[in-house]
Amino acid sequence: MTEGSQPRLLRVLAGETLDRPPVWFMRQAGRSLPEYRELRTRAKDFIAFCHDPVMAAEATLQPMRRFPLDAAIVFADILLLPRALGQKVWFEAGEGPRLGELPALSALEAEIEASTGRLSEIGETLTRVRAELEPERALIGFAGAPWTVATYMIEGRGSDRSGARTYAYQNPEDLDRLLDILVESTARYLVMQARAGAQALKLFESWAEGLAEDVFERIVIRPHAAIVEKVRAAGVDTPFIGFPRGAGALVDNYAARVPVQAVALDTQASAAQGQRIQAGGKAIQGALDNLLLRAGGPAMDARIDALIEQWGKGPYIFNLGHGVLPDTPVENIARAIGRVTGKV
Ligand code: CP3
């Protein structure tokens, strides 16, 4: 590949500082786009949608056709893995995910090997998208991080995570065993995604907030590091982006200890914290407030400029601090991308 067509995202993940950061948005595919809402009506349910490579590839590519984004993220969900391990998962319209009772840990362990095959359609989606996407735009695969996925498996739904944290304190051996199951199955799933065409891999730890330092070490840092090591041991050198959302000051510990190539920051990250992580040899990603993207206007432009000013002197990927909200005006998304790429 010539210098000119190496995707910006991959250059930053290799440690380069660019004239302008690559830009993509978490949840760039989805309900903020009218063409997504139309496509969604044609699927039986959300899980069937994710497991249909033709429809999922279309959803992945919709924002790429509309906007000059530097990367696509495969259309899938972090809860496809517990389902592949044998736990019941469904989505209640307008409410969010629901999961059946947590299966016996021995039953989950018995399904680890088979789980990757049950996710083969996500690999097919990646292969289809990679074949259609221009070479200068990167394709990202992802998985939920073990603790975040475990919170849904334990609580059976989105929650304040107090039930999962209580479980972690009352049943530490079971929690560690569940995290080990998720480390192994997630590593296999990500290896499959890389072989199918993912050029970067993102670990979504959406619920890393509120954890004491020793707990954070045990249920976030250790499992993330183990996943990266297992993927490397399988001979896959695809770069990783880790997203310990809500971890605050502990993001520094994360950056120092987890062998990811980039750390995704959330809205509360300070300029100095991001710069420290860059100085430590990692790229950073983030962290425009998704509410500010939705609000738009001069405040959005000013914050975009400030983020690029504070972090653009090192390896930096422009993104949000959390996903695009469904009622975000499409014009604001277009304007934000234009602002980053120097068009407006
Ligand atoms: O970012 C992308 O565009 C790629 C696709 C993607 C989805 N979910 C599609 C989706 C990604 C990367 C995810 C990750 C995900 N899923 C996370 C981690 C990131 C985060 O937001 O913290 C989590 C916690 C989930 C679990 C999940 N999936 C919830 C809580 C919900 C319900 C809330 C909601 O937004 O509806 C989902 C459903 C979901 N995942 C939708 C989409 C497009 C909406 C479903 C629909 O269109 O009916």
Residue 27 is a catalytic residue: yes
Q: Which of 152, 167, 254, 316 is catalytic?
A: 152
**Looking at ligand 1, which atom is closest to the CA of residue 323?**
21
77 CA to middle of ligand 1, Å?
6
In this structure, what are the phi and psi dihedrals at residue 272, rounded to the nearest 5 degrees?
A: -65, -40
pLDDT at 1: 45
**Looking at ligand 1, which atom is closest to the CA of residue 206?**
22
pLDDT at 175: 98
Q: Which of 11, 20, 31, 257 is catalytic?
A: 31
225 CA to middle of ligand 1, Å?
24
Strand ranges across the sheet with 283-288: 71-73, 138-144, 200-205, 240-244, 262-264, 283-288, 316-320
Number of domains in the chain: 1
281 CA to middle of ligand 1, Å?
30
How far apart CA 282 and CA 274 sit, in angstroms, is 10
Pick from 110, 93, 89: nearest CA to 101? 89
Which residues of the chain have a pLDDT value below 70?
1-4
* Ligand 1 pocket mutation pick from 25, 27, 46, 157 by most atoms within 8 angstroms of CB: 27
What is the CATH classification number for the domain harbouring 212?
Answer: 3.20.20.210
Q: Which of 27, 195, 276, 294 is catalytic?
A: 27
pLDDT at 94: 85
In this structure, what are the phi and psi dihedrals at residue 249, rounded to the nearest 5 degrees?
A: -60, -25
Q: Which residue lies with its CA nearest to atom 36 of ligand 1?
A: 96
pLDDT at 109: 98
In the structure encoding, which two tokens stand for residue 45, read together? 């349910």
Handedness of CA 87, 36, 205, 254 (dihedral sign): positive
Classify burial at 45, counting beta carbons within 10 Å of its beta carbon; exposed 0-12, middle 13-18, buried 19 or more. Answer: exposed
Indicate whether residue 79 lines ligand 1 (CB < 6 A). yes
Parent domain of 148: 3-341
How far apart CA 243 and CA 321 sit, in angstroms, is 10
Indicate whether residue 158 lines ligand 1 (CB < 6 A). yes
Indicate whether residue 27 lines ligand 1 (CB < 6 A). yes
Report CA-CA distances (Å) from 173 to 151, 156, 165, 187, 219. Answer: 16, 20, 13, 21, 12
Please list, residue by residue across 244-282, b when 16 or more beta carbons sit within 10 angstroms of its beta carbon and e when fewer do.
bbbbbebbebbbeebebbbbbbbbebeeebbebbbeeeb
Residue 161 is a catalytic residue: no
**Looking at ligand 1, which atom is closest to the CA of residue 96?**
32
Residue 152 is a catalytic residue: yes
